[in-house]
């Protein structure tokens, strides 16, 4: 990963963290264990599927280009 991409990724992740924080109940952030569980749930429910769909779409586009 280029330094520019790394910096951009960090910026985007911090912005995403702020959004997720605003939409998380404070009772879910009371201990390390509940914080860890909350982060895992947010990633599994909201972040992971978006990334997986994006990667799948890009892969299918690439395969289409290779067939042409």
Domains in the chain: boundaries? 3-67
Cβ-proximal residues to 47 (8 Å cutoff; 6+ apart), any chain: 16
Are the C-beta atoms of 23 and 41 separated by less than 8 Å? no
Q: Is 23 helix (H, G, I), strand (E, B) or coil?
A: coil
Are the C-beta atoms of 20 and 42 separated by less than 8 Å? yes
Mean pLDDT score across all residues of the chain: 92
Cβ-proximal residues to 34 (8 Å cutoff; 6+ apart), any chain: 27, 28
User: Has residue 10 got a pLDDT over 80?
Assistant: yes
Are the C-beta atoms of 66 and 58 separated by less than 8 Å? no
Residue 8 pLDDT class (50, 70, 90 cuts): very high
């Amino acid at each position: 990963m280029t330094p520019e991409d790394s910096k951009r990724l960090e910026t985007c992740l911090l912005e995403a963290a702020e959004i997720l924080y605003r939409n998380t109940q404070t009772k879910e952030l009371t201990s390390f264990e509940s914080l860890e569980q909350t982060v895992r749930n947010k990633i599994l429910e909201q972040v992971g599927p978006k990334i997986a769909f994006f990667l799948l779409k890009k892969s299918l586009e690439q395969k289409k280009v290779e067939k042409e």
